Amino acid sequence: MIELIPAIDIINGQCVRLTKGDYNCKTVYNDNPVEVARHFEQLGFRRLHVVDLDGAKSRHIVNDDVLRAITAATHLKVDFGGGIKSESDIEKAFNAGASMVTVGSIAVTQPDVFLHWLDIYGPEKLILGADVRNGKISINGWKEDSQQDLLPFLEQYVNKGVLHVLCTEISKDGTLQGPAIELYQQIMATYPHLNLIASGGVSSNEDILKLEAAGIPAVVFGKAFYEGHIHAEQLPMPKGLAKRIIPCLDVKDGMTVKGTNFVNLRQAGDPIALGKAYSEAGADELVFLDITASYEGRKTFTDMVTKVAQEINIPFTVGGGINELADVERLLYAGADKVSVNSAAIRNPNLINEITQKFGSQVCVCAIDAKQEGNDWYCYIKGGRERTHLRLFDWAKEVEQRGAGEILFTSMNHDGVKDGFANEALAQLADMLSIPVIASGGAGKKEHFRDVFLQGKADAALAASVFHFGEIPIPTLKQYLQQEGINIRI
């Protein structure tokens, strides 16, 4: 299935489109790019291409504040390009929440610099931008044509490990005259394993279907959608956001452990090796929790995070011992995509505000460990050892209001007993919150995952022992869920 990537091009903080890259042929479609991004997410798109046209013209990032607002307000995977001319520009984009960065002009003018960035950030984080006009690569916001032909330009980088290429046929862009399918087929015939993203000229749903039939992996489109020529409900994509499967690795003294009801721990293996195996098996994300975050343990855990980041290519969250912004910064710098806060957030709720204001909502996962006592659920801290006065649903609502991007709810009653998730409480959380809810505690068989998505309305399901000890292979679980009609990434 072709990957569908709507585009938001930004000038002066507005959502615009150009025709053939001409800044004098500009149409403003919306004054609020965040509103547009939310609309795309509501329609079921999972990815977004954001172009800083001011940045492309100025040769440095200009609209990183807009990027930050989009990533804080949605859970879209955002590719960002325009004005990336230095390592500080790349860092600025990633700090603003970009999942991937598109680099074009530098790859033409300073190939050694681009290869250095490719080595630093890895091929999963960088997209090679190849903007083509009259068969030649164009640079600096399409204002200049180089003397480099497209295929030799691609060859030098594909041979060095580039996986993602965004190819825009400038003569087609914004014209609604149809994409350059023959050009894209030529690229795919030469590099069949390339993740090619076609861009320029898409005018209708039919154009997208033609690209899919031609074997093009992904397509970017903008003007045709804004002007009503593309209808999302007729596009070849799963309806709604895909559910996620997330293995959780509790780390103690450098090893993965697992217990029952938060006690009786037993070893489950090396966290780095397990993380890599789960990534290769098709897990959507991972969670690593430092359950004994003493000073020495914290150093060991941070080193482990760095090694994990080098081994896997899926997002991962880390938690345990996070008490202040410096802890968050340390773990993000080590390579984590998100951080999970629990006890510290209950002791100091403003920590959630501080994290989201500095790093964006998408970075902050608020973990809530709660136990049902009669008709109420009470929140616990210190690894489930200390009961608080906070009730689950009150605290969850406050967490959302303070800006957290997701909630990871663990039912202590269900943890490790493998009798199924706390679906009634999860459904209540899903109905009252607008942010995603990750279910944790109780997975024992494939049917429990089905039920947590259908009955518990969870956005993601987290489990540990059934994965660690080989009871439910992730590929088998995902195939089962797909057969049950659940939107899941295979």
Q: Cite the active site residues.
A: 250, 369
**What is each CA distance from 248 to 54, 254, 273, 278, in whole angstroms?**
41, 15, 13, 10
Secondary structure class of 390 (helix, strand, coil): strand
Structure tokens at 256: 């993965």
DSSP letter at 271? Answer: H
Q: Which residues pair with 4 in a beta bridge?
A: 219
- 395: nearest Cα among 386, 404, 384: 404
DSSP string, 78-120: EEEESS--SHHHHHHHHHTT-SEEEE-HHHHH-HHHHHHHHHH
Structure tokens at 10: 């930004």
Q: What's the alpha-carbon Rg for the chain, to the nearest Å? A: 23
Enumerate residues 6+ apart whose C-beta is below 8 A from 273: none
Q: How many residues does the chain have?
A: 490
From the list 177, 152, 150, 182, the residue with the least C-alpha distance to 166 is 150
Show Cβ contacts of residue 90 under 8 Å, excluding neighbours closer than 6 positions.
Answer: 84, 101, 103, 117, 121
In angstroms, the CA 340 to CA 317 distance is 7
Residue 304 phi, psi dihedral angles, 5° rounding: -65, -40
> Cα angle at 398 between 392 and 400, to 5 degrees?
100
SS3 129: strand
Instruction: Compute CA 326 distance to the chain's CA centroid, rounded to the nearest angstrom.
Output: 23
